[in-house]
Every structure is written in C-alpha cells, then in structure tokens.
Amino acid sequence: MAAAYPTLRLETPAQHVLMVTMSRPDAMNAMNTQMMTDLRDCFASFYVDPDIARCIVLTGAGDRAFCAGADLKERNGMTDAAWRRQHAIVEQAIRAMMDCPVPVIAAVNGAAFAGGCELALSCDFLYASENARFAQTEVALGIIPGAMGTQNLPRAIGVRRAKEAILTATPFSAAEAHAWGLVNRLFPTVAEMRVAALATAARIAANAPVAVRQAKASIGKATDLDRANGYAYEIEAYNRTVGTEDRLEGIRAFNEKRKPDFKGR
C-alpha cells in the first residue's frame, strides 16, 4: 500500500494481511484532525480497491491505549463551526470503516474510550488484552456518542447494558466486555493478543477473498433486515461466488487434497 499517513503505521506482517496502527502514543493515540483524516482516507481506499489486503488488523501504538477518543486538547477553544467541520471527518471515517468490504479485526491493546470505543465497535470483531478498558464518556463532556456508538454498542452488548454504559459514562473492563459479548477473545498480554489477532487475520486471508467479502456483507444484513429479506440478500451474495475462478479452485484443491491457491477472482 503506497499511501503514507502521518498518524498511521501500515505493515504487512503476513501475506495479504495489513496491520494498521494508530500512532500517537504520547497522546494515548487520541484522534486529532490529522488522524481522523488518515483513518477516513485509509479505509475509503479499501472500498475503491478491496484487493489491497484480504484482512486488516486495527490496533494502537504501545501498551496503554488503543485510542483515547478525540484529542480534547486540540478541541479546546474550537468554534462551533470548526467542531462541526472536524466531526464531519469523523463521520466519514466511521462510514468508511463500516463500508469496508475487507474484514477488520480490532486488536484492543489498552484504553478504548469515547471515539476509540466507537472505532473498535466499527470493526467486524474484537480481540483484547486484559488491560483494555472501554467507555463511552461523551455525556460527561456535554455531548453524546457521535461515531455510531448509540447504534453499535446496543447491538454488541444489548440495549439495557448500552444505556447504562452510555448514560453513566462509566468505564467497563475487558473482562466485562468479554462476558457481555463485545470482545471475542481475551488475552493476558498485549503481545499475545496481537499475535492471536494476526494469526486469525492470516487464516481469514487464506480463504477465497470474494467469498469472504460476500459473506461479510451478508452477515451485516442479519440485524438490518427481516429473515426472509436477509435470506434473499444471502442468495444474491452466494450467486456472486458461483462464477468465480476461486470456486473452481476450491473444489479442485479439495479433490486433489491440497491447499487452494485463491486469486480473488
């Protein structure tokens, strides 16, 4: 991936796997305007060209924070107009993440507060280290979650728990997040968590890319549509895989007792 993003570090630790690291460790990886712009542009690029990677891992630099939310030092003294302009970039970034056709795993390595929690929630699923903490703290600052928090958190942990978390602005632990279904897997250390996230990403990346993208899109409709219309969408997504070379390769590889070599077409 050729683009350079001042606040993001992009690495390819395995074939077809991209690790995107939010890199403002001195600010607990808080999102300033530049990071919001970088996240928007980075994730929008996958919508334009999904072949850049077959799976993405999103994490934060260091062991203390995934992302502490918006940079409140930068926001101090902002005019209403400047605030709204900046927030429009966040809205675009979250939409780009939610629309990303490539699977995204959040590797939560510490605090994921406010907008940081919303970034994690916008990923397909989450791994976390035991030191991770989550919170939607916006009402304590005079605003409300504005990056899909009121939509994604209830879907992840249930409406009643989400109301308690958002309305009290009280942080909750990685263990609670795991017990409530927000976090898929929990690990003792950040290092172990990142290794596991990358291993899972590599496993996803080894599968047929078109099929993975269609499956992700179809699963995304499960909570948006009734079951009959969801199934209709699933069949449309299924039919998009039937004419691919990868479908033929998968059958050949199975019968020849070898690992398939998927090309993404």
Give, in words, the CATH class of 209-255: mainly alpha
Q: What is the pLDDT of residues 93-139, one digit of tens each?
A: 999 999 999 999 999 999 999 999 999 999 999 999 999 999 999 99
pTM score, whole prediction: 0.94
> Where in the sequence of the chain do the CATH 3.90.226.10 domains occur?
8-205
Q: What is the pLDDT of residues 66-87, one digit of tens each?
A: 999 999 999 999 999 999 999 9
User: What average pLDDT does the structure give for the chain?
Assistant: 96
> Is 138 noted as a catalytic residue in this protein?
yes
Q: What is the mean pLDDT of residues 197-205?
A: 98
Q: Across the strands, what pairs with 56?
A: 18, 104
Contact 90, 44 (CB under 8 A): no
Q: What is the pLDDT of residues 20-51, one digit of tens each?
A: 999 999 999 999 999 999 999 999 999 999 89
Half-sphere exposure of 28 (CA within 13 A, CB side): 18
d(CA 36, CA 190): 24
Beta strands across the sheet bearing 65-67? 65-67, 111-113, 133-135, 172-173
Q: May I ask the CATH architecture of the domain 8-205?
A: Alpha-Beta Complex (3.90)
> Where in the sequence of the chain do the CATH 1.10.12 domains occur?
209-255
Q: What is the pLDDT of residues 126-173, one digit of tens each?
A: 999 999 999 999 999 999 999 999 999 999 999 999 999 999 999 999
> Is 176 noted as a catalytic residue in this protein?
no
Catalytic residue among 11, 74, 138, 245: 138
Q: What is the mean pLDDT of residues 241-257?
A: 92
Helices (H), 128-225: 149-157, 159-168, 174-180, 190-205, 209-220
Catalytic residue among 74, 118, 234, 249: 118
